[in-house]
A and B are shown apart, each in its own frame.
Chain A
Amino acid sequence: MRGCRWKLAVGAIVATTTLGACGGGTGDAGGGGDSGLLIWAGSGTGGDALKQVAQRFGEENGVPVDVELLPGDELQTNFVTASQGNNAPDVVCGAHDWIGNLVQNGTIDPIQLLPAVREDLQPLAVQAVTYNGQVYGMPFTMNSLVLYRNTDLAPDAPATIEDLVATGQQLQAAGRVTEVLALPVSDTGNAYFMYPLFTSAGGYVFGTAPDGSFDSTDLGLAAPQAVTAYQQIGALGEKGQGVLKRSISAENDLSLFTDGHTAFMVEGPWQLPNLAKSSVPYDISPVPGFADGGPASPFITVDACYVASRGEHRTLGQEYVANFWSRPDVQAAYQKAAEAVPASLTVLDQIRDTQPLVAEAADIAAQSGQIMPSIPEMAAVWDPWGKAEAAVVAGADPRTTITAAATTIRGAIGG
């Protein structure tokens, strides 16, 4: 009979939980014991810096603040589900391209930017968090891809892709490197990293309406430029010059660069702190375009904090996002802790001398970047687009490949 009590105890516990499952739904969130402001952020880069900033808010206002770091790739979905279950945090911080989906689910509220705050922020950062004419988040960092080069191997920044390939192939022939360029392609493709080359060759993702918003009916992959762009990209691929390879992915590009296997790497400024730890001498420059093409425009992504519509402490959340994060001293504190590219112009001026590479990355983004669309339709684009690029790099016919991708995307957006 030893186990009987376990059996019964367990049964009793189940009884109560079953109940919650069956009978819940009318439950009230009440019951006191509020823990103050609750913030969700991604567990990736900058998570700890966000914690420090939140700590400061708590001290200034005398309220407990809790920052919970969730696995970044699930944060958005979890936040939407939690909002649906009336269990949302008060503030969520994440990439600006979530805004479209968060708004269509009614999970975040717009905020009003004071004119002084708006002037302090990089204009593109404000534009990125603006959706349907409303500002939804307070940007704190702004990233776009840059070209890293090993200054021992390649002292001068290449002006064009052709220059880069020539330098890389010389080094390769001399046995000093094994790869011309580390640009993440991977087996299933990565359209984010390929975008500078794609734009230089004339491609675009979505057309823009006169008011600057994205027009989901004008799909760039279906435009004729997309085919010519992919012909140029395919020429750099595995059956062409061998510069772009599916075997290089975001999982190994940094190692290739820091181990000296390649002189060039296309990556984001978030790698700057990682590179500072390596022994490779490096510098950054804009990602070059094709000699006969237009400028190469990487996507700009902005990280921002948003006020949750269904948080328990909305007023505190608004204070945190709209009135606290808008202060340059807070933005500076974050930048210092995360070594991230600042969204605040004041902070950018402050770090020009002390962190020249970060400032340079900010300038590159401001000069050549394009804001990554935040419309929900973008979710339908990434997967087929990346696969099409991987196929082109592998040597598939650009025209049939890109047409198939465009058809798939159209089907997903339409249905």
Chain B
Amino acid sequence: MAITGNQAGPQTIAAVGEGPPTEVVRLGTAKGNWFRRVGWSHLVGVLALVFSLFPILFVVSAALNPVGTLSSSQLLPTRMSLDNFGAILSGSFPRWFWNSLLIGVLSAALSMFISACAAFAFSRFRFTGRRAGLLAVLLIQLFPQFLAIVALYLIFADITNLWPAIGLNSIWGLLLLYLGGALGVNTWLMKGFFDTIPKDLDESAKVDGASHAQVFFGIILPLVRPILAVTGLLGFIAAVNEFLIASVFLTDDSVKTAAVGLYGLVADPQTANANFGLFAAGAVILAVPTVALFQFLQRYIVGGLTAGAVKG
């Protein structure tokens, strides 16, 4: 018990800030103690890891297998080589990858900002049409988007004729399109979080003479940093992985995103199986920026109000 207590001690203090390490008092035996404090977390974590990773191991092993196919893949690769990575990196993939990063970062940042603005309005102001607006945002998401691609294509065909720079075959056009969804799910998500921040905070700031913009940028946004980071990450992943609309919009090889290019490898059932190794290599590379971004954002996600307290 003493050993465990010593180990946990500094962590506990760090986590609860100035609170005394009172937990020690109510703990049982050393073993049960360890399990109740940390062990169960490890157990859940490990199980979640196994569940999360085993299909991905499939993909990784297909990527490492020079003759990797979808169906012959095993959990562990039977042959190891970087052939697939070499092959995919020597083609158009680096270009696609760059396009994906560009559109992912811009789309995530702008969407996050747009939905934060909207969530602020919906959470902090009471205006005519507020509830109707919120409801409309939700209902729009519910509409089955069968014809969306046709309609969007026709809209963008007209845009292309007028302003080719933001039309079809332009990642700027695609970026605009993605921003169309910015007011969707994320506004709701953020509004929920904005609602948890006590109104007293902005009330007192207003009394001190802060304008609405100062309340928004100076008080609210820093407080909801975790959720900004989360929506940013989600927006990045969504933009990087989106291929249904992008594959219709981006036909020129030089403007394709990685998801479109990779999808092209497996879209045709005749070649899906044989191309799976290449595809898997591309998918693994494409996951790297997402993980890196998560690493970077993690400090904001878990930092939040108690920044610095947890050094996971």
Are any A and B Cβ atoms less than 8 Å apart in their complex? Answer: yes
Closest residue of chain A to B150, judged by CB? A81
| B285 close to A (CB within 8 Å) | no
A24 touches B72 (CB 8 A): no
B274 touches A85 (CB 8 A): no
**Residues of chain A within 8 A of B153, CB atoms compared:** 81-82, 85, 87
Question: Quick check: which of A39-47, A155-163, A382-390 contacts chain B, the rest being far away?
Answer: A39-47
**Residues of chain B within 8 A of A68, CB atoms compared:** 251-253
Q: How far is the CA of A72 from the CA of B214 in the complex (A)?
A: 52
**B121 → chain A closest CB, angstroms:** 12
- A4-24 CB mask vs B (1 if < 8 Å, else 0) is 101100100110110011001
B110 touches A71 (CB 8 A): no
**Residues of chain B within 8 A of A82, CB atoms compared:** 153, 157
Number of A interface residues, CB 8 Å?
A: 52
| B166 close to A (CB within 8 Å) | yes
| B293 close to A (CB within 8 Å) | no
B252 touches A66 (CB 8 A): yes
Assuming A84-B154, A86-B157, is B114 touching A10 (CB within 8 A)?
yes
**A362 → chain B closest CB, angstroms:** 18
Q: How far is the CA of A7 from the CA of B157 in the complex (A)?
A: 26
Q: How far is the CA of A364 from the CA of B213 in the complex (A)?
A: 75
Question: Quick check: which of B22-30, B124-132, B198-206, B259-267 contacts chain A, the rest being far away?
Answer: B259-267
**Residues of chain A within 8 A of B167, CB atoms compared:** 20
Q: How far is the CA of A254 from the CA of B274 in the complex (A)?
A: 9
Assuming A24-B158, A85-B154, is B71 touching A252 (CB within 8 A)?
yes
**Residues of chain B within 8 A of A40, CB atoms compared:** 251
From B71, B117, B156, contact of A7 by CB (8 A): B117
A7 touches B113 (CB 8 A): yes
Number of A-B contacts (CB under 8 A): 135
Q: How far is the CA of A256 from the CA of B114 in the complex (A)?
A: 51
Q: How far is the CA of A84 from the CA of B72 in the complex (A)?
A: 42
Q: How far is the CA of A74 from the CA of B163 in the complex (A)?
A: 26
| A78 close to B (CB within 8 Å) | yes
**Residues of chain B within 8 A of A2, CB atoms compared:** 217
Assuming A251-B269, A252-B70, A255-B71, is B158 touching A74 (CB within 8 A)?
no
| B247 close to A (CB within 8 Å) | yes
Closest residue of chain B to A67, judged by CB? B253
| B100 close to A (CB within 8 Å) | no
Within 8 A of A (CB), among B153-192: 153-164, 166-168, 176, 179
Q: How far is the CA of A249 from the CA of B149 in the complex (A)?
A: 30
| A29 close to B (CB within 8 Å) | yes
| A69 close to B (CB within 8 Å) | yes
A87 touches B168 (CB 8 A): yes
| A1 close to B (CB within 8 Å) | yes
B160 touches A87 (CB 8 A): yes
B270 touches A45 (CB 8 A): yes
| A270 close to B (CB within 8 Å) | yes
| B272 close to A (CB within 8 Å) | yes
List 9 A-B pairs, Cβ < 8 Å: A1-B213, A16-B166, A20-B167, A43-B265, A44-B270, A69-B253, A251-B70, A252-B71, A268-B270
Q: Which A residues lie at the B interface, using CB under 8 A?
A: 1-4, 6-7, 10, 13-14, 16-17, 20-21, 24-25, 27-29, 31, 40, 42-45, 66, 68-74, 78, 81-82, 84-87, 250-252, 254-256, 258-259, 268, 270, 274, 277-278
Given contacts A70-B247, A254-B274, 14 further A-B contacts (CB under 8 A): A10-B179, A14-B179, A21-B158, A24-B157, A29-B161, A45-B271, A66-B252, A71-B267, A74-B247, A81-B154, A251-B71, A251-B273, A252-B70, A258-B72
Q: Which 9 A-B pairs have the closest CB atoms?
A: A24-B158, A85-B157, A252-B71, A71-B267, A44-B268, A27-B161, A20-B159, A43-B264, A255-B72
